């Protein structure tokens, strides 16, 4: 089987995946909060890559936009 290597630097920001630590830093919340949100399905949608949780930038930005819309109601 041929291994496909991706040049992480060649990827656009929307294509790059965020770790849970990076997302916590970006949102300014503890990592534990993200795990709680994930368990309760309240936070941005993430997915597993093996044992690791990853987030797409666009999914996070969409979730933030929705939070702002909901806050205005």
**What does the pLDDT read at residue 73?**
80
Residue 8 falls inside a structural domain: no
Q: β-strands 52-56, 46-49: how paired?
A: antiparallel
Is 43 inside a domain boundary? yes
The whole-number pLDDT of residue 9 equals: 61
Domain membership of residue 41 (yes or no) is: yes
Domain presence at residue 34? yes
pTM above 0.85, yes or no: no
Give the CATH number, domain containing residue 66: 1.10.1660
The number of domains in the chain is 1
Q: What would the pLDDT profile of 5-58 be if each residue is shown by its tens digit?
A: 556 566 666 678 999 999 999 999 999 999 999 999 999 999 999 999 999 999
Where in the sequence is the domain holding 54, given as residue range(s)? 15-72
Reported in sequence order, the residue ranges of 24-69 that DSSP labels E, i.e. its strands, are 46-49, 52-56
Assigned domain for 6 exists: no
Q: Is residue 5 in some structural domain?
A: no
pLDDT for the residue 12: 66
7, 11, 45 from 41: Cα distances, Å: 32, 28, 8
Give the pLDDT confidence score for residue 16 in this predicted structure: 85
């Amino acid at each position: 089987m041929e291994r496909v290597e991706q040049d992480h630097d060649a990827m656009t920001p929307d294509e790059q995946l965020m770790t849970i630590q990076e997302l916590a830093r970006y949102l300014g919340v503890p990592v534990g909060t993200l795990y709680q949100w994930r368990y309760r399905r309240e936070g941005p949608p993430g997915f597993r890559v093996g044992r690791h949780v990853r987030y797409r930038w666009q999914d996070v930005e969409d979730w933030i936009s929705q939070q702002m819309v909901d806050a205005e109601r």
